[in-house]
Structure 1
Amino acid sequence: MILTASIRKTNFYNKNLSNLNFVKNEMINKIIGVGVVKWIVKNTFFKFLNQKLKFDRKMNISDVKNIRNEMNKSEIDHLFAFIFVVIFVIVQLYNQKYLLAFIILFVNIIMNLYPSLLQQQNKRRIDKLIFRFEKSKPTK
């Protein structure tokens, strides 16, 4: 989190990291189980973890853009956490602790990679909403 906070103001973060899309196809998202993670986040105690990501139908476009920025922060935090833990997994593999490395990698994928993929999916949906709103906005 310290690393992501330090790079948040850079051009690399704003141009490259804010628009990441590992899986662009919704069918692939469905096949790998992002929908299951979405259901878990919506219907278990995980829904209480990041209250800034609440979406309300009465929101204006600036609120939606703020939610997209918060999603982006959350996504990048999860990605950096995933990379950090993968380094730990590589160390465990080097030390020939294969079962421990597999368990840590499995939990890391579930707790960091899948939430990041879910945020990317939600950001694409929000981008479509923002595009429709800006397209329908009358020009002066």
Structure 2
Amino acid sequence: MVNQLLNVGWTIVGFFPVGYFWFLQGIHWPFYVLLLLSVASCFFPEAIYRKLDVSKNQRVYRRLGVKFIRRFAQDGDFQAGNGIGIKNYLKKTQMFERYHFCCLIFFQASSVYACYNEQYILAFTIFICNIIYNVYPILLQQYNRIRIVKFLRQHNL
């Protein structure tokens, strides 16, 4: 239950500046084009997402602060044997990564469009929310995947 409340809270905070921008701007064709482009990214092959991985080394993610951030994320601190099957959790990380990548594209495109419309403070706010709400969760999914694959190799699974 706490995980879900945390998730809803972060989503409201993350989406507020984007929603506010589009409320001020009005929902016209640019909104639909940007939304369509971002949703299309959900259908990229898994190989493309793997090419976007920051590193194959856990230390890189730790240096980026992922180990600290994972305390604030839903299911961020995965532990083997916590009731979720490892293979199911791997699929869940892929789903979360795709969702946040889709949002990342939409947030960033909205930020650029806000700059185009000379709404610089709002563009900067969207950019910062994009880092917190999308970039770090993507990094977290990549980090957890490295940890899980390492665990599977250690236990010959």
Give TM-score scaled by structure 1 length. 0.70
The answer as to 2:57 corresponding to 1:33 is no
Q: Which of the numbers 91, 103, 126 marks the counterpart of 2:148?
A: 126
Runs of 4 or more consecutive aligned structure 1 residues displaced over 4 Å after TM superposition: 53-56
Deviations, residues 83-129 of structure 1 (Å, cap 9, x unaligned):
11100000011111111100111011101110110110000000111
Q: Which of the numbers 59, 70, 73 marks the counterpart of 2:95?
A: 73
C-alpha root-mean-square deviation of aligned residues, in Å?
3.1
Deviations, residues 45-74 of structure 1 (Å, cap 9, x unaligned):
x45xx9xx96552769xx211110111111
State the Cα distance separating 1:35 from its structure 2 match: 2.2
- The aligned amino acid for 1:67 is Y
- The aligned amino acid for 2:151 is L
Deviations, residues 8-38 of structure 1 (Å, cap 9, x unaligned):
xxxx523332574124443432333222211
Asked whether the equivalents of residues 4 and 77 of structure 1 are also in contact (C-alpha less than 8 Å), the reply is no
Gaps of 5+ in 2: 1-34
Matched with 1:57 is 81
For 1:28 and 1:125, locate their aligned partners in 2 and report how far apart those are by CA, in whole Å. 13
For 1:92 and 1:38, locate their aligned partners in 2 and report how far apart those are by CA, in whole Å. 30
Q: Which of the numbers 96, 110, 115 marks the counterpart of 2:137?
A: 115
Total equivalences in the alignment: 121
Gaps of 5+ in 1: none
